[in-house]
Amino acid sequence: MIVVNPAPLDTSYVPEKLFFRDDKIATIQSTVIDPSASGITNNIIIHGDSGTGKTSTVKFLMRDNKSIIYENALSFRNVKNLLEHVISRLGRPVSYRGLSYSDIFSTLNSIISFRGNIILVIDEATGMLKGDSTGLYNLFRASEIYGTELSTILISMESPFMYMERKYGTIVELKFNKYSSDEINRIITDRASMALDPGTCPDSILQYISEISGQFGSARFAIELLQKAAYMAEYRLSKTIENDDVRSAVSLINP
Ligand SMILES: Nc1ncnc2c1ncn2[C@@H]1O[C@H](COP(=O)(O)OP(=O)(O)O)[C@@H](O)[C@H]1O
Ligand SMILES: [Mg+2]
């Protein structure tokens, strides 16, 4: 057995320790989370390539903050649909005919008046950012138009710069940079120590995976490579992971 604990090799795993993102955490905390607790709404757009820790960083922040609600934009046609879902999640009925924006925000106002401020995270929002200008306008200006204490954290792979319209108001932009090979090495060393039997994954393998993944700056790619290579080695009934297992893993995944 090489893999003794598969969970940390899953790309949806949110680790106890998030490396190299203290500055991003502090920025999100100080621009959105802290102000929201005192009734000030701000909006932020997080962007950066795949595997740069965008989703994990907000999920990490959600552990200590019950006012953050997470949704993935890919499950919804548009902003209105997503907000209707949030409302029904929070226990309010939504008629099958749907709601108008003013219905939506007055319902949110009443929810917020007893539940407290809400910070809405919309992950994988590139499509929404390009395609739903009315929705974004209502969402980003909700505080001024409807008096709703709703802050939004939007997450997108592409830089939002091209799609941002003036009417959305002031939005903080936060870019997540690619990880260097050394940073990736630190991240996967941690995962390997949690997931793999000691002695089955030499440092040279972690180094090799980090070098390959460093080209893309993606921790996701690195973790997937580690996972696939480990199972490849298990399948061969080998006691350790070898370079060839990593090479086979590379041919299975696109970064
Ligand atoms: N700074 C980090 N420290 C530890 N693990 C990380 C870090 N950044 C990313 N990861 C891991 O890499 C994988 C991909 O990260 P994710 O947050 O999904 O990236 P993104 O949302 O930017 O595509 C996840 O398994 C995540 O736990
Ligand atoms: Mg993500």
Q: pLDDT for 218-231, tens place per residue?
A: 999 999 999 999 99
Cβ 202 vs Cβ 189: under 8 Å: no
Q: Which two tokens stand for residue 248?
A: 């086979």
Nearest CA to ligand 1 atom 25: 11
Q: What is the dihedral of CA 71, 50, 219, 20, to 10 degrees?
A: -70
Cβ 232 vs Cβ 248: under 8 Å: yes
Q: Rounded to the nearest whole angstrom, what is the distance from the C-alpha of residue 215 to the centroid of ligand 2?
A: 19
Pocket of ligand 1 (CB under 6 A): 11, 13-15, 18-21, 48, 50-56, 187, 219-220, 223
Tell which atom from ligand 1 comes closest to the C-alpha of 222. 12
Tell which atom from ligand 1 comes closest to the C-alpha of 219. 12
SS3 (DSSP) at 142: helix
240 C-beta neighbours (distance < 10 Å), count: 14
How far, in Å, CA of 166 to CA of 82, rounded?
A: 23
Fold of 7-13+179-252: Helicase, Ruva Protein; domain 3 (1.10.8)
What confidence score (pLDDT) does residue 255 get?
67
Q: Residues within 5 Å of ion ligand 2 by Cβ?
A: 54-55
Tell which atom from ligand 1 comes closest to the C-alpha of 187. 4
Phi, psi of 64 (to 5 degrees): -105, 10
Cβ 18 vs Cβ 179: under 8 Å: no
What confidence score (pLDDT) does residue 169 get?
86
Q: Which residues pair with 120 in a beta bridge?
A: 69, 152
Cβ 172 vs Cβ 152: under 8 Å: no
Q: What single letter denotes the amino acid at residue 101? A: Y
* Closest ligand, as measured to the CA of 22: 1
22-176 has which CATH code? 3.40.50.300
pLDDT < 70 regions, the chain: 255
Q: Rounded to the nearest whole angstrom, what is the distance from the C-alpha of residue 20 to the centroid of ligand 1?
A: 11
Q: For residue range 71-82, list pLDDT tens digits in order.
A: 999 999 999 999
Q: Rounded to the nearest whole angstrom, what is the distance from the C-alpha of residue 64 to the centroid of ligand 2?
A: 20
- Delimit the domains of the chain by residue range: 7-13+179-252, 22-176
What confidence score (pLDDT) does residue 66 get?
93
* Closest ligand, as measured to the CA of 195: 1
